Amino acid sequence: MKNGKFSIGRFMRKNVILLLLVAMIIVFSIVQPKFFTVTNLMNIYNQNASLMLSACGLAMVMISGGIDLSIGYMASLCGIVAAMLMKNMHVNFIVSIIAAILVGTLCGALNGVLSNKLKIHTMIVTLATMTLFQGLSYIISQSKSFSSLPSAFRFIGQGYLGKLPVSIFALIAIVAVVSFILNKTHYGRYVYAIGGNPDAA
């Protein structure tokens, strides 16, 4: 909006990613008519739900001017911890999930402490911790996969409520929380400020 008039250029600059997504959907739908169907869209979502959830947390890191290359192996380590607790130690699945979240929190705190205290760029720090988390994952799991986990745990990632996967409700809740934090809290404003100019912030 400029002088009370709608600006197409400004709208396009502000929503360029969304517009590119819409353009890609249109192109793929023309090339393959079955692309834009409920079944295919749900399949795409199920295959990428974990990436979407991880992107919510990573967005806050990137908005603040940082980067986290270790997030993939950090998630792997958390998953292995939860699986081992349930499979090998027969720990309740809720306790196992809480333990995995704590492991992820400690890993994230390690990245934060190293990058802030040692004044090393987050790309270098997380590149190093990525290798560390990968090694820990292999050592703890002994390079073995885990199966036959409790049905209640599998329901979170594979279950459905009606015709919608359970994970989509988790994604909506997390996106809502992250959006609220970034746009409606002082902490969120500081995240944006640090990303814009750390010295001024």
Q: How far apart are CA 115 and CA 100, in angstroms?
A: 23
pLDDT, residue 163, reads 80
Confidence of residue 3 (pLDDT cuts 50, 70, 90): low
pLDDT, residue 48, reads 85
Confidence of residue 142 (pLDDT cuts 50, 70, 90): confident
pTM for this prediction? 0.78
The whole-number average pLDDT for the span 15-43 is 89
pLDDT, residue 4, reads 53
Residue percentage of the chain with pLDDT more than 90? 40
H-run or E-run covering 70? none
The whole-number average pLDDT for the span 61-88 is 91
Q: How far apart are CA 192 and CA 201, in angstroms?
A: 9
The whole-number average pLDDT for the span 72-90 is 92
Contacts of 111 (CB under 8 A, 6+ apart): 68, 70, 122, 125, 126, 129
The whole-number average pLDDT for the span 150-164 is 85
DSSP calls for 135-156: HHHHHHHTT-------HHHHHH
In degrees rounded to 5, what are phi and psi of residue 185? -125, 160
Confidence of residue 42 (pLDDT cuts 50, 70, 90): confident
Q: Which residues pair with 161 in a beta bridge?
A: 164
pLDDT, residue 156, reads 85
Contact 61, 83 (CB under 8 A): no
Give the model confidence (pLDDT) of 161-173 as tens digits: 888 888 888 888 9
pLDDT, residue 158, reads 83
pLDDT, residue 6, reads 63
The whole-number average pLDDT for the span 58-76 is 91
